[in-house]
Amino acid sequence: MTTRRELWLLALIGAWGCTPKQPMTDADEAPAVAEAPEPEATIEKSPLKNAYFGELHIHTAYSLDAYIFGTHDNDPFVAYRFAKGEEVDMPGGGRKKLVAPLDFAAVTDHAEALGEYELCTNPESSMYSSEACEGIRGGDMGFFEKIFAGLATTPTKREVAICGEDGQACVDAISGPWGRIQQAANEANDPGNFTAFVAWEYSSNAPEGGGGMMHRNVIFRSAAVPDTVFSAFDGMGEDLHAFLEENCTGDCQVLTIPHNPNFYWGRLYWGKNSDGSEWTEEGLARRVKLDRLVEIMQVKGNSECQKGIGTTDEDCNFELVFDKCAPGENVGCSNDYAFVRNGLKLGLEHQASRGVNPFKQGIIGSTDNHNGTPSDTKEDEFRGHYGTNDMDPEVRLGLKANPTAEAMGMSGDDDPTKLYNPGGIAGVWAEANTRESIWDALHRKETFGTSGTRTKIRLFGGFGWPADAHAGEGWVKRGYDEGVPQGGDLSAAPEGQAPSFMVWSMRDPNSAPLARLQIIKGWRTADGELEEQTFDVACSDGGTPDPSTHRCPDNGATVNLEDCSISQDKGASTLATTWTDPDFDAAQHAFYYARVLENPVCRWSMYDAMKAGVEHPADLPKTIRERAWSSPIWYTP
């Protein structure tokens, strides 16, 4: 009898052998027989908008690091199938499907090594049999280190053993995978039912090393995209913006999404270019135009805020990866510039002093997993995110070495990966499930992020609303008619009036009920101080916020750590209120965003400890309070 492994091997090698690398489709053949997709114009639009959930940060086999980690079969085509609810194979065995299909997705493979991937996986390439390519196909982490280390040198240099001395072979090979990435998105896109965006990730390393990254996802509105990608081998993040401005014109429209401010070592919000040079006026304008959103939460940690770094907010300490930097330290720790909330505050300062806010970013969540499985975020089904490298629960729990972390220079006690999590989800409020509607919602920042559940959160800001404006049927229409939604701008407060906010959240029926709804305000005082305050504005279980502390009483929800069951009688399915800023000063720049906290549930590490039959590591939290964040609304005097 043939073993499964042998069969798999033979099948895999057969697939590499003589068939073209891309899956068999009709692209290279007779016209497609399938019925023409519905033209977008005929799709019904809801003017009051629906919530759509999706993934804008996912890696597949086409990301060479994912490939080396053992993600070989889940390519962009498979990733979209998973997003649409199909069951797919996991790297390292087993199959998985989402609890419910997603509404949209963008495969964001690293632009950096698309050519290297092609040369090493396409048997017709002259480099296929090279030692380097054999090493890559064999999962040799040394090549991951070498190739991604080449990004940290100045100037950046591609791996000579694959790309040649001048790197040209790898540059030339980009067109194959770039074409198939577009093909996969264009084929998966199904107006009215599922939206797929053409995208890539730009991934430059922070010069300090230590796993530091200054990355952005690049999301296109339509099938009109540049002829080739722009990667960290071609320039800095600021050069990426210039490239897009020059090469994405006409029908091409694009936005960029920085992620992991916590891993930028401060270089996202420090007020300079990523290499430390001074901003230019053109560069700033491009930043405002392109950096529309930021990922607040993903696999590699929460980047909202951290207690003790510009805030006293207790609820900030959630899925954090790093400790606060010691004086003089800057790498592998959290500094003042490492968080979205601080970035939003700094943006107010730039707005006041320069007249432009380069950090006016909406909020989303993502996974960034390297398994090709978009929004694969359930705590109880976590299987890691680095292919086969962390398929073992004991690796995820930090009880065994994580090869990915070691290769990134974060080994032993410096390895933070046990503090990672399954990642977040992106939400938008849009008129319809089409590329146009969803991309436009992303662009106007009418978005929200979650820590991995499908909790909805909605925020409107305006003036003159009564305390019960959120109650009753017409509140959404009122929000649009008389105010602005999340991501919007308020200004010119009427004399003597403070802005009011209608805020609403609905639980994910497949997660825990809601515990409390909050509004976070940041502002700049007359003497230039940047301040913030967190207000609990609606409490579950009949509670009301304490007027002096602005905190809800604890609703007493608990988790049974024996079997991970949760309180059945605590929490709310929806929370809503109308809140008016009690301390408003019409002369001050400010922002407001909403956050909702769920009742606690077991964290992935509890499920992993049970699966592995080991004691839960004492330094990891046993439970997690999942949450969602709305994009801010800004007030400019």
Partner 1 sequence: MTGRWRRLVREPLVHFFAAGALLFVLYTAVGGPEQASSGEVVVDQARVEALRAGFERLRSRPPNHEELQALVDAWVEEEILVREARALGLQQGDTLIRRRLAQKMAWITQGTDVERPTEDELRAWWADHPTDYTAPATVSLRQVAYGGETLPPSAAAVVGSTAVPPAATVEGLPAVLQDADSAGLVATFGEDFATRLDGLPTGTWQGPIRSPFGVHLVLVTERAAPEVVPFAQARPHVLRDLSDARTAAAGEAAMARLRERYEVRVTSDAYARTVAEGTP
Is the CB of 162 or the CB of 321 nearer to partner 1? Answer: 162
Considering the complex, what minimum distance in angstroms separates the CB of residue 240 from partner 1? 28
Report whether 425 contacts 379 (CB < 8 A).
no
Span of 11-19, 107-115, 416-424, 627-635 interacting with partner 1 by CB under 8 A:
11-19
* Alpha-carbon span 522 to 538, nearest angstrom: 19
Q: Which of 39, 41, 94, 165 binds partner 1 (CB under 8 A)?
A: 165
Distances (CA, A) of 261 to 269, 317, 343, 522: 8, 15, 9, 18
Q: How far is the CB of 80 from partner 1 (least distance, A)?
A: 12
In angstroms, the Cα distances linking 355 to 159, 348, 360, 525, 632 are 44, 9, 12, 16, 19
Q: Which stretch binds partner 1 (CB under 8 A): 9-17, 56-64, 110-118, 278-286?
A: 9-17
Residue nearer to partner 1 on the CB measure, 190 or 585: 190
Residue span binding partner 1 (CB under 8 A) among the ranges 163-171, 320-328, 330-338, 534-542: 163-171
Residue 388 has φ and ψ, to the nearest 5°, of -90, -10
CA distances from 536 to 1, 214, 277, 482, 543 (A): 64, 33, 40, 24, 11
**Binding residue (CB under 8 A) for partner 1 from 383, 456, 516, 627:** 456
Residue 623 phi/psi, 5-degree rounding, is -125, 165
3-state SS, residue 327: coil
Contact between 565 and partner 1 per CB under 8 A: no
Site string for partner 1, 210-249 (x = CB under 8 A): ----------------------------------------
- Structure tokens of 25? 């489709």
Q: H/E element holding 533?
A: strand 530-539
Which listed residue (31, 36, 94, 126) binds partner 1 by CB under 8 A? 126
Stretch that binds partner 1, among 27-35, 223-231, 516-524, 549-557 (CB under 8 A): 27-35
Of 230 and 233, nearer to partner 1 (C-beta) is 233
Whole-number minimum distance, CB 564 to partner 1, in Å?
A: 16
- Name the minimum Å distance from CB 255 to partner 1: 27
Are the beta carbons of 351 and 316 closer than 8 angstroms? no
Among 31, 138, 250, 276, binds partner 1 (CB under 8 A): 138
Token readout for 86 is: 């199909």
Is residue 297 part of the contact set for partner 1 (CB under 8 A)?
no
Residues 6+ apart with CB under 8 A from 549: none
Asked if 487 contacts 514 with a C-beta cutoff of 8 angstroms, the reply is no
Burial of residue 281 (number of CB atoms within 10 Å: 0-12, 13-18, 19+): exposed
Which of 99/285 has CB closer to partner 1? 99
**Sequence letter at residue 350:** H
* Site size with partner 1, rule: CB under 8 A: 54
Among 227, 281, 413, 615, binds partner 1 (CB under 8 A): 413
Determine phi and psi for 503, rounding to 5 degrees. -130, 140
Cα separation, 66 vs 112, whole angstroms: 12
Burial 392-411 (b: 16+ CB within 10 A, else e): bbbbbbbbeebbbbbbbbbe
Q: Single out the residue of 506, 520, 539, 552 in contact with partner 1 (rule: CB under 8 A).
A: 506
Question: Judged by CB under 8 A, does residue 283 bind partner 1?
Answer: no
Q: Which of residues 172-201 bind partner 1 (CB under 8 A)?
A: 187
Which position among 40, 245, 275, 406 is part of the footprint of partner 1 (CB under 8 A)?
406
Smaller CB distance to partner 1: residue 58 or 506?
A: 506
Say whether residue 7 binds partner 1 (CB under 8 A).
yes
Shortest CA distance to 536 belongs to which of 568, 478, 506, 575? 575
> For residue 171, what are its two tokens?
């540059």
Question: Residue 488, CB half-sphere, CA atoms under 13 Å: how many?
Answer: 16
Stretch touching partner 1 by CB under 8 A, among 23-31, 148-156, 304-312, 613-621: 23-31
- Cβ proximity to partner 1, 145 vs 489, nearer residue: 145
Nearer to partner 1, 30 or 41 (CB): 30
Contact with partner 1 (CB under 8 A): which of 32, 467, 587, 614?
32
Query: Can residue 11 be called a binding residue for partner 1 (CB under 8 A)?
Result: yes
Q: Which member of 429, 504, 604, 635 binds partner 1 (CB under 8 A)?
A: 504
The yes or no reply on residue 79 touching partner 1 (CB under 8 A) is no
Count of Cβ atoms closer than 10 Å to residue 477 Cβ: 11
Q: Does residue 619 bind partner 1 (CB under 8 A)?
A: no
DSSP class per residue in 192-228? TTBEEE-EEEEEEEPTT-TT-EEEEEEEESSS---SS
With CB under 8 A as the contact rule, the residue among 2, 491, 548, 549 that binds partner 1 is 2
Looking only at the bridges linking them, the beta strands covering 623-624 and 601-602 are: antiparallel
Take residue 500 and report the two structure tokens written for it.
């009011």
Binding residue for partner 1, selected from 277, 411, 544, 565, defined by CB under 8 A: 411
Element (DSSP H or E) covering residue 537: strand 530-539
Q: Which residues bind partner 1 (CB under 8 A)?
A: 2, 6-19, 23-26, 32-35, 85, 99-101, 126-127, 134, 138, 160-161, 164-166, 168, 187, 401, 406, 411-413, 454, 456, 473, 504, 506-507, 509-510, 513, 573-574
